[in-house]
Amino acid sequence: MLKVKDIETYYGSIQALKGISLEVNEGEVVTLLGSNGAGKSTTLKTISGLLRPVRGTIEFMGERIDHLKPEVIVQKGIAHVPEGRKIFPGLTVRDNLMLGASGRVKLSKAQIAEEAEQMLELFPALKPFADKLGWTLSGGQQQMLAIARGLMARPKLLLLDEPSLGLAPVLVQEVFHIIRDINTRGTTILLVEQNAFMALKVAHRGYVMETGKIVLHDLATNLLNNEQVKRAYLGTTKAARRQVVG
Ligand SMILES: Nc1ncnc2c1ncn2[C@@H]1O[C@H](COP(=O)(O)OP(=O)(O)O)[C@@H](O)[C@H]1O
Ligand SMILES: [Mg+2]
């Protein structure tokens, strides 16, 4: 479905991606792991067109997309939920959701409103807050809203950047539950996470990034047992592990 080949992306003269190649097949959850500053967010931003690669190609459903504008890429079926719950704080939950469908030009406002109601059914935690303003939501609720808004674009591929960041453990569980649920309903997912253990539990395959390069890729079950991964990325998630196992 998605084929990223040898992309190199810069911020000014700083090279953040030094030849990244990865693939996501239809139906998969693929996770992208790596420490802070490795280039995970930059990879997602390059795929969704917010940044342009200087070299390399990105193909989606057999078509080059690396020269397209972000709004065109959304229309092709890729939605990006950025890091840090960038919802609209001054708008209601319902209006936030409706804005998520703004790229779907063939839909009437009434149809979009109807889909927003359906989305609220899928996210029962949000439903009671439909008329509340974004800023009044808790961190966890804002994250749910950011994901739900991404889904309003009806993407074939959903890019999620650190959806569990800063959430209380019980909400982390809920976010991962939703990720699995969305995938089961047919959306392919590329997931960037700090919580490597949870991400590998939900993913089919994973890639590990270090300073702008992919250093490892394998089935998620193999990465969970990989000594290098355990040492570098699973050490700090003992609490999460206890939670899942226990
Ligand atoms: N807006 C920016 N301007 C300059 N450098 C940036 C910018 N955003 C990220 N970087 C740099 O690019 C590298 C990769 O960052 P990023 O993709 O955000 O990493 P990650 O998401 O893995 O933590 C880092 O060295 C970071 O400092
Ligand atoms: Mg990041």
Residue pLDDT, tens place only, 110-123: 999 999 999 999 88
- Give pLDDT, residue 86: 83
How far, in Å, CA of 21 to CA of 56, rounded?
9
Distance 35 CA to ligand 2 centre (A): 9
Closest ligand 1 atom, residue 38 Cα: 22
pLDDT digits (tens, 9 = 90+) for 61-75: 999 999 999 999 999
Give residues whose Cβ lies within 5 Å of ion ligand 2: 40-41
Mapping DSSP onto H, E and C, the string for the chain reads CEEEEEEEEEECCEEEEEEEEEEECCCCEEEEECCCCCCHHHHHHHHCCCCCCCEEEEEECCEECCCCCHHHHHHHCEEEECCCCCCCCCCEHHHHHHHCCCCCCCCCHHHHHHHHHHHHHHCCCCHHHCCCEHHHCCHHHHHHHHHHHHHCCCCCEEEEECCCCCCCHHHHHHHHHHHHHHHHCCCEEEEECCCHHHHHHHCCEEEEEECCEEEEEEEHHHHHCCHHHHHHHHHHHHHHHHHHHC
Q: Which residue has the higher pLDDT, 157 or 171?
A: 157
CATH code matching the domain that covers 2-84+157-245, chosen among 3.65.10.10, 3.40.50.300, 3.50.50.100, 3.30.300.30: 3.40.50.300
> How close is the Cα of 128 to the center of ligand 2, in Å?
31
Q: Which atom of ligand 1 is nearest to the CA of 36?
A: 23
Q: What is the mean pLDDT of residues 215-240?
A: 83
| Averaged pLDDT, 155-175 | 90
Domain boundaries, the chain: 2-84+157-245
Q: How many Å apart are CA 158 and CA 98, to the nearest integer?
A: 17
**How much distance in Å is there from the Cα of 119 to the middle of ligand 2?**
27
The confidence band for 28, taking pLDDT boundaries of 50, 70 and 90, is: very high
Residue 246: its pLDDT value, please?
33
- Nearest CA, atom 16, ligand 1: 39
Pocket of ligand 1 (CB under 6 A): 11, 14, 16, 34, 36-42
| CA-wise closest residue to 24 among 57, 49, 71, 61 | 61
Question: Which ligand gives the minimal distance to the CA of 43?
Answer: 1
16 C-alpha to center of ligand 1: Å?
6
Q: Give the pLDDT score at 245.
A: 41
The radius of gyration of the chain from alpha carbons, rounded to an integer in Å, stands at 18
Instruction: Tell me the CA end-to-end span of the chain in Å, nearest whole number.
Output: 36
